[in-house]
C-alpha cells in the first residue's frame, strides 16, 4: 500500500513538473521589458494631456491611465544620435562621445542590453539605430536584429535582419514594418528565457509622412499658436495675459526665425506651418497604433503579469515657441519628452510621477526591473522606486543639458543648461549674445528672460557655478571636435568651401 502511494506520489510529482515545465515554455518566470522609442515626439502631444484637442492617442492614454506617466522626463541632449547613445549607454553626451548625428560610436562602448544578455535575457532590437554609422549591421547586445541605415525612409526601408538584407516587395510603411519585426521577435523567441525588446521608430521625424490610413485625418483642424511664436507688434502676435519680453530674447533666436528651423521660412518655404503641424499629428497616430499592437500581444499571450512596457521620445520638438521649430535648443519643448510606463513594474494604476527623470535613467531602470545591479558606467539611476510609489530622499531636483554646434545646422550654437524645479539657466558658447534665465514655476512658457534683472543675479551665478561643477565632475570641460565631413549639408544651400 505504501509502495503504491509512493509510486502515485512520484507520478503526481512528475505530472506537476511537466505542467510547470510546459508553463515555463509558455511564459518565463523572469521580468520581461519592452522599450519603445519614437523620434521627435514632444512631451505634451498626447491625447490625455489636452494640449492638442483634436489629437487621438488611445493607447498612450491607456498607458498613462493604467500605468505611470513620468510628467517631467528630459533628454540630456535634444538630438537623435546623442540621445539614443545616452539611452543605450546611460551616459551624458560628452562621456559617450556621440556628439552629433555624424559621430561614430567609439570602440569599446558597452550598451546596457549586453548586461541583460550576460544574465540570460534574450534581447532584440528593431528599427532606427542612427548613431553616426551609415550601415545596418547587427550591433553588440542584441540576439535579434532588424534595422536600416541612417534615418531610414517612411516608405520601403531596406532592413538588415540578423545579417540578411530584406528589401520590401511592395509599398511598406516604416512604422508598420517595425511593428511587424517586433512581433516576429516576440512570436519566435525562446519562451524559456526572459526577454528585452527595444523598438525604435523613425516616426515622427520630419519631414512628417502619415500612413494612408491616417493621412488627412486632421484636415481642416487649426493648431493653437504659442504666445512666443510672434514678437509683440507682429500682425499675428498672440494676445496673452503675460507680456512676451522680446527685447531679451537672444539674437541668434531672432535670426533663426527666417531659416530652415524658423517659422518665417521653415524648410525654406516648402510647407506651411499649419500643414506641418497637422502632418505631425497624423504621423503620430501610427506610433500609437503600434503601441496598441504590442500591448495586445502581451495581454493575449499571458505575459501581462511579468512584462513592463516603457514608452518615450528621443527628444522634444518645438512648434513655434520663440519662433522656432525642431529641437536642439534648451527650451522646454525641446528637452522634455513623453515617458509612460505600463505593466508589471508599476505599483498603482494611473500614477502621475512628478520627479525629474532623464534618458540616461532608462538603462539603470531596465536592469533594476530585471533584478540586476546597476553598472558603474551609468550616469543615470533607476526610477523603479518612483513607479512603485517610493521617493528616495536623494532623488535629484536638478537636470543638466548640453548640445554641441553642428556644421549642417550652424544656426544653433553650442548650448549648456541647468534646470531645477524652479529655475532654468541657459548658457551659449562661441557667440556674443545673451544667456537666459527663467523662473519656470511662474513662467512655464519662458516668456521673460530674467538674465538682466539685478534681483536674479545671485541665482544666475549659482546656477552657472552648478553647471560648471557638473561639467568638471563628469569630465565635460573639454569639447570634442570632429573633422568636417565631405559631402555633408551646409545649412541647406550655403555654397561654401571645406
Q: Tens digit of pLDDT for each residue in 174-212?
A: 999 999 999 999 999 999 999 999 999 999 999 999 999
Q: What is the mean pLDDT of residues 439-458?
A: 98
Specify the DSSP class assigned to residue 481: P
Residues 271-278: contacts with CB under 8 Å, at least 24 apart: 271/207, 273/223, 273/320, 273/325, 274/222, 274/223, 276/206, 276/208, 276/325, 277/223, 277/319, 278/218, 278/219, 278/221, 278/223
* pLDDT value of position 218: 98
* pLDDT value of position 400: 98
Angstrom distance (rounded) from CA 410 to CA 432: 15
* pLDDT value of position 16: 43
End-to-end CA distance of the chain: 94
* pLDDT value of position 483: 72
Q: Tell me the three state secondary structure of residue 267.
A: helix
Place of cell 510621477: 353
Q: What is the mean pLDDT of residues 229-257?
A: 95
Closest CA to 362 of 104, 28, 36: 36
CA dihedral 186, 187, 188, 192 (to 10 degrees): 70
- Residue 7: pLDDT above 90? no
CA-CA-CA-CA torsion sign (13, 18, 19, 23): positive
Q: 425 - beta bridge partners?
A: 418, 437
Mean pLDDT of the chain, nearest integer: 91
Q: What is the mean pLDDT of residues 402-428?
A: 96
- Residue 5: pLDDT above 60? no
- Residue 438: pLDDT above 90? yes
* pLDDT value of position 18: 41
The per-residue pLDDT for range 92-149, each reduced to its tens digit, is 999 999 999 988 889 899 999 999 999 999 999 999 999 877 789 999 999 999 999 9
Q: What is the mean pLDDT of residues 450-466?
A: 98
- Residue 488: pLDDT above 60? no
* pLDDT value of position 484: 62
Residue ranges of domains in the chain, CATH in brackets: 30-473 (3.40.720.10)
Place 375 in a pLDDT band, splitting at 50, 70 and 90.
confident
* pLDDT value of position 210: 98
Q: What is the mean pLDDT of residues 325-337?
A: 98
Closest CA to 33 of 196, 143, 192, 189: 196
DSSP string, 149-193: STT--SBSPPEEETTEEE--SS--BHHHHHHHHHHHHHHHS-TTS
pLDDT > 70 fraction of the chain, expressed in percent and rounded = 91
Q: Are 357 and 74 in contact (CB under 8 A)?
A: yes
- Residue 15: pLDDT above 90? no
* pLDDT value of position 351: 84
Of 188-192, 259-263, 347-351, give the lowest mean pLDDT range. Answer: 347-351
Q: What is the mean pLDDT of residues 48-70?
A: 98
Of 269-278, 372-381, 476-485, give the lowest mean pLDDT range. Answer: 476-485
Q: What is the mean pLDDT of residues 152-170?
A: 94
Question: Cα dist. 84→77, 151, 474 in Å?
Answer: 9, 13, 19
Amino acid at each position: 500500500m505504501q509502495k503504491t502511494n509512493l509510486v502515485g506520489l512520484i507520478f503526481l510529482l512528475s505530472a506537476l513538473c511537466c505542467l510547470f515545465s510546459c508553463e515555463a515554455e509558455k511564459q518565463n518566470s523572469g521580468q520581461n521589458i519592452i522599450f519603445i522609442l519614437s523620434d521627435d515626439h514632444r512631451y505634451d502631444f498626447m491625447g490625455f494631456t489636452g494640449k492638442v484637442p483634436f489629437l487621438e492617442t488611445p493607447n498612450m492614454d491607456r498607458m498613462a491611465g493604467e500605468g505611470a506617466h513620468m510628467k517631467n522626463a528630459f533628454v540630456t541632449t535634444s538630438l537623435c544620435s546623442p540621445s539614443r547613445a545616452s539611452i543605450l549607454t546611460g551616459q551624458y553626451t560628452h562621456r559617450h562621445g556621440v556628439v552629433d548625428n555624424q559621430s561614430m560610436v567609439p570602440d569599446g562602448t558597452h550598451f546596457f542590453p549586453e548586461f541583460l544578455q550576460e544574465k540570460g535575457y534574450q534581447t532584440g532590437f528593431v528599427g532606427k539605430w542612427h548613431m553616426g554609422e551609415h550601415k545596418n549591421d547587427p550591433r553588440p547586445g542584441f540576439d535579434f536584429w532588424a534595422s536600416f541605415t541612417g534615418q531610414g525612409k517612411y516608405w520601403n526601408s531596406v532592413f538588415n535582419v540578423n545579417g540578411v538584407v530584406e528589401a520590401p516587395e511592395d509599398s511598406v510603411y516604416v512604422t508598420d514594418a517595425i511593428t511587424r519585426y517586433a512581433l516576429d521577435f516576440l512570436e519566435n523567441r525562446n519562451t524559456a528565457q526572459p526577454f528585452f525588446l527595444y523598438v525604435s521608430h523613425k516616426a515622427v521625424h520630419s519631414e512628417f509622412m502619415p500612413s494612408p490610413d491616417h493621412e488627412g485625418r486632421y484636415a481642416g483642424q487649426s493648431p493653437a499658436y504659442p504666445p512666443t511664436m510672434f514678437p509683440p507688434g507682429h500682425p499675428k502676435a498672440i494676445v496673452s495675459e503675460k507680456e512676451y519680453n522680446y527685447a531679451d530674447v537672444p539674437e541668434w533666436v531672432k535670426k533663426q526665425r527666417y531659416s530652415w528651423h524658423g517659422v518665417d521660412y521653415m524648410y525654406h518655404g516648402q510647407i506651411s506651418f499649419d500643414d506641418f503641424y497637422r502632418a505631425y499629428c497624423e504621423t503620430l497616430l501610427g506610433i500609437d497604433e503600434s503601441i496598441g499592437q504590442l500591448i495586445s500581444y502581451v495581454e493575449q499571450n499571458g505575459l501581462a503579469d511579468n512584462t513592463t512596457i516603457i514608452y518615450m521620445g528621443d527628444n522634444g520638438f518645438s512648434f513655434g515657441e520663440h519662433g522656432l521649430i525642431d529641437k536642439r535648443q534648451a527650451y522646454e519643448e525641446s528637452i522634455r519628452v513623453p515617458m509612460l510606463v505600463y505593466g508589471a513594474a508599476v505599483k498603482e494604476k494611473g500614477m502621475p510621477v512628478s520627479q525629474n527623470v532623464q534618458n540616461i535613467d532608462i538603462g539603470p531602470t531596465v536592469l533594476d526591473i530585471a533584478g540586476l545591479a546597476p553598472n558603474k558606467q551609468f550616469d543615470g539611476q533607476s526610477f523603479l522606486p518612483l513607479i512603485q510609489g517610493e521617493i528616495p530622499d536623494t532623488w535629484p531636483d536638478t537636470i543638466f543639458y548640453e548640445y554641441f554646434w553642428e556644421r549642417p545646422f550652424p544656426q544653433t550654437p553650442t548650448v549648456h543648461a541647468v534646470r531645477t524645479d524652479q529655475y532654468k539657466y541657459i548658457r551659449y558658447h562661441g557667440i556674443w549674445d545673451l544667456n537666459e534665465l527663467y523662473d519656470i514655476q511662474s513662467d512655464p512658457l519662458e516668456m521673460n528672460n530674467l538674465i538682466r534683472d539685478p534681483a536674479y543675479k545671485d541665482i544666475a551665478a549659482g546656477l552657472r557655478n552648478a553647471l560648471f561643477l557638473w561639467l568638471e565632475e563628469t569630465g565635460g570641460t573639454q569639447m570634442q571636435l570632429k573633422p568636417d565631413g565631405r559631402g555633408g549639408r551646409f545649412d541647406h544651400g550655403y555654397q561654401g568651401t571645406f
